Amino acid sequence: MILREQVLDFHRDGFVLAEGMFSQDEVDVMLVAVEQSQRVAQTTWSATDSEGRSSKISLWMDIADDVLGLVSTHPRIVNSLRVLMGEDVYHWHSKVMLKLAREGGAWEWHQDYGYWYHDGCPYPRLVSAMIALDRADEENGCLRVLVGSHHLGRLDHGRVGSQTGAELERLAAIERLLPARLVEASPGDVLFFHCNLLHSSGPNLSDRPRRAYICCYNAFSNIPIIGKGHGAPVPIQMCADDAIVRATMNAANQ
């Protein structure tokens, strides 16, 4: 769970990395779920960057009835978000990000709220929890952030390749204003980041994949006032702390 002293870092910088939130055993279970999930296989699509490289993403708005659903409802995630946001949250959506070795493309600079604004939430009170499933570093295209950029408010977004990215002229000026930081992470680390934080990632130039599972949440004070939004605004029924590994043990016994 997130430490209370990390809350100030989150509100100042727009993100905080919780190291070792999940064990390697739990990460191994998640990787098997990603590789074997029919849901992931059936909902995966590709997005090309400005140089034509492709990254794969799989996204859904309900809470899956599987290991990935257990991660979305895990108390280490949900309670950390309650501490960071100062209120209760509900599931917005979850997604798997796949950057294949030597193939995975970049993600252009953007804010998640740049996508979600038109879903009708009145405020930018949404946070994502990105769980590293592989070692993430510069070589295989880890996340880059502009520190403190969530204080800028929502920027205009438009097409960049087949992706949606922040308006380029304004972005160039912001890059001169704010420091950029690579967020390198080990398997099991969780990056919590604000929906208005500008972030991007480079291509995967390594011989290693970079896979991540990202669970996104909205505050109950921020239920959409227009539009449909994403997940249903219902309380999260949290799983047990050991549910991820126990689910695999139960399956093996059966």
pLDDT tens, 161-201? 666 777 888 889 999 999 999 999 999 999 999 999 999 99
CATH numeric code, 5-253:
2.60.120.620
Strand stretches in the chain, DSSP E: 15-18, 44-48, 54-60, 89-99, 107-110, 126-132, 143-146, 157-160, 163-166, 180-183, 190-194, 199-201, 210-219
The predicted structure's pLDDT at residue 4:
77
Residue spans of the domains in the chain: they are 5-253
Contact at 8 Å (CB) between 200 and 50? no
The predicted structure's pLDDT at residue 236:
98
Which residues make beta-bridge pairs with 182?
144
Q: Which residues of the chain have pLDDT under 70?
A: 159-163, 250-254
The predicted structure's pLDDT at residue 252:
52
